[in-house]
Amino acid sequence: MAAPQRAKAFIESSDCQTLKLELDSKVEKYKSEILLAALIENVNVRGRLIEYLIAGEDERLRQELIAALIAGNRGIPAFKTENKLGDYSRVFPTFDTETDVKTKIMILASNPKAYNLDKMLQFLARQRSVFMFYFVGVDPGKIVNTVLVSMFQRSLLDATILLKHWSGRNSRGVTQFEGHAINRLIECPAYNIDQQQAVSFLKQVVEL
């Protein structure tokens, strides 16, 4: 229940600025490749590929993916992304962060998957944990904007849909975001956290 206050402290810290700059530098470095990947019709392949370009740890695999993109998406190597809470882990002096990288094709209507509820609770139970989302808005031929926000950001939390019917017998389920809310965040970034709303959300999830 301390996670929302911790997230607010992180957002107001220089560490948050550092994290945003690191991710932005990846987007800038691989901008051309991200725009090529955004043309892929398969939403699953497209999302995973862009996320790996930004947050992947195996540089050899990243270069193989880039070569396949340049060759017109021919011979994209099979690759697995770990089924973790976030794509990008970063430890700071007083915070342990997990950031989930999400691509939003601005002209397409979609409600992207968000996170596994049990994994989220398990991570936030740690005393230093902060869970963030890094949204990359893409239009044909250009990066619209990038936004780094807490999972507790008010409009994002309002747009979080609980999908209990997807859950297994021993799982609380998963979440999904309303796509139009992501578009608005990308176009007009906001970082506010309503502590009461966030704690109420966590209590609701714990009780599932």
SS3 assignment, position 131: strand
Cα–Cα distance measured from residue 103 to residue 105, given in angstroms and rounded to the nearest whole number: 7
pLDDT digits (tens, 9 = 90+) for 95-152: 999 999 998 888 888 888 899 999 999 999 999 999 999 999 998 889 999 999 999 9
Q: What is the C-alpha separation between 34 and 36, in angstroms, rounded?
A: 5
- Going by pLDDT thresholds of 50, 70 and 90, the confidence category of residue 192 is very high
Work out the percent of the chain whose per-residue pLDDT is above 70: 93
Which residues are CB-contacts of 129 (< 8 A; sequence separation ≥ 6)?
3, 6, 95, 96, 97, 98, 123
pLDDT tens string 68-100: 888 876 667 766 666 688 889 999 999 999 999
**Residue with the larger pLDDT of the pair 29 and 42:** 29
Does the pLDDT value for residue 43 go beyond 90? no
pTM: predicted TM-score of the whole model, two decimal places: 0.90
Beta bridge partners of 131: 98
